[in-house]
A and B are shown apart, each in its own frame.
Chain A
Amino acid sequence: MADGELFQRAERFLSVLRHCQLLGMRVECAQAQGMTLCLPHGPAIVGNPETGVVHGGALTTLMDTTCGMATLCVLPRFEVCPTLDLRIDYMHPAEAGKDIFGFAACYRVTRDVIFTRGFAYQDNPQSPIAHVVGTFMRLGSPKVTAR
């Protein structure tokens, strides 16, 4: 699949996820090698009012979505892939007032399960805020119902 087509599919996918729209998330980059999404900074997702740092929940939403959408990079047809599990390790606190980017890629695809990993960063991808691994279940393509 061409990267342009993948980008469009990713944007379409993200556009129907209401909570992601509420957070203002957008597709930054969609390539065969992996998916990058952006979580813009905003006052509504702050977890600590004294420091202005984003709550981990918003970051988890970014990374769950990014890992889930990384499956679009490896599957020839769209498949529903619910999250089985997700683990996030925080390397250092996010800086207040800056957008957060999430990158994820699939490193193993089996008949039933897809293994993904990725990281979240602000300015420097070499110094991530968090590392993430997530496992997703393959439910197959949605059945086309005759009308």
Chain B
Amino acid sequence: MITPAQREQLLDAHRRNDYEQLLGIIPYARLIGIECNRIGDELLFRLPASPDNVGNPLLPALHGGVIAGFMELAAALHLLIFTDTGRVPLIIDFSIDYLRAGLLRDTYARCQLWRQGKRVANVAITAWQGDEAQPIATARAHFKIEEGSRP
């Protein structure tokens, strides 16, 4: 459940463009080091390069699971901010295409909410490193939400 006080806290973080406290309460978010920034009305997620996130020692490259986790987390946060869901979005399914190796450098992600129903939302996520036009991965996910529970 998201209480009205928590909803207000979320919207306040969004207004101030300061999501650190919000991300700080999610242990997995701290583990991989995800950051969030509002640019205009949009959210841009960043995963700073970290040797702890490496899964291919040869290149080296980020673990595909970390890239997926970063994108799933970005999608859930996007839903928390841009829908009035009365619950923390619950993942139903997640599908990811890996297009290029994610090298040991900063990774960015942007989300697109394609459809928001009363109970289910469909989100597409794109992740890139140097050039947004050359994504390292694209993903899409369905989440269970509870629309319209704002008092």
Contact = CB atoms under 8 A, between A and B. Distances in A.
Interface in B36-82: 51-58, 62-66, 68-70, 72-73
A40 interface: no
Given A45-B27, A57-B73, A82-B101, A19 B93 contact: no
Contacts of B31: 22, 44-45
29 contacts: A17-B55, A17-B63, A18-B52, A18-B53, A18-B54, A19-B52, A20-B63, A43-B27, A45-B31, A47-B28, A49-B25, A55-B72, A56-B69, A57-B32, A57-B70, A57-B72, A58-B65, A58-B69, A60-B68, A60-B69, A60-B72, A61-B66, A61-B68, A64-B64, A80-B58, A82-B64, A84-B98, A87-B93, A90-B93
Contact of B53 (A19, A45, A142): A19
Given A55-B73, A64-B64, A86-B98, 19 more contacts: A17-B55, A18-B53, A22-B31, A47-B26, A48-B26, A49-B26, A55-B28, A55-B69, A55-B72, A56-B69, A56-B72, A57-B28, A57-B32, A57-B68, A57-B73, A58-B28, A82-B64, A85-B95, A86-B95
Given A18-B55, A57-B68, A58-B28, A93 B90 contact: yes
Interface residues of A, number: 38
A62 interface: yes
A92 to B, nearest CB: 10
B63 A64 contact: yes
Nearest to B71: A57
Interface of B: 25-28, 30-32, 51-58, 62-66, 68-70, 72-73, 88, 90-98, 101
User: Per DSSP, are chain B's interface residues mostly helix, strand or loop, or mixed?
Assistant: mixed
Contacts, number: 124
Contacts of B28: 44-47, 54-55, 57-58
Contacts of A83: 64, 98
Contacts of A43: 27
Interface of A: 16-20, 22, 43-50, 54-58, 60-65, 68, 80, 82-90, 93, 142
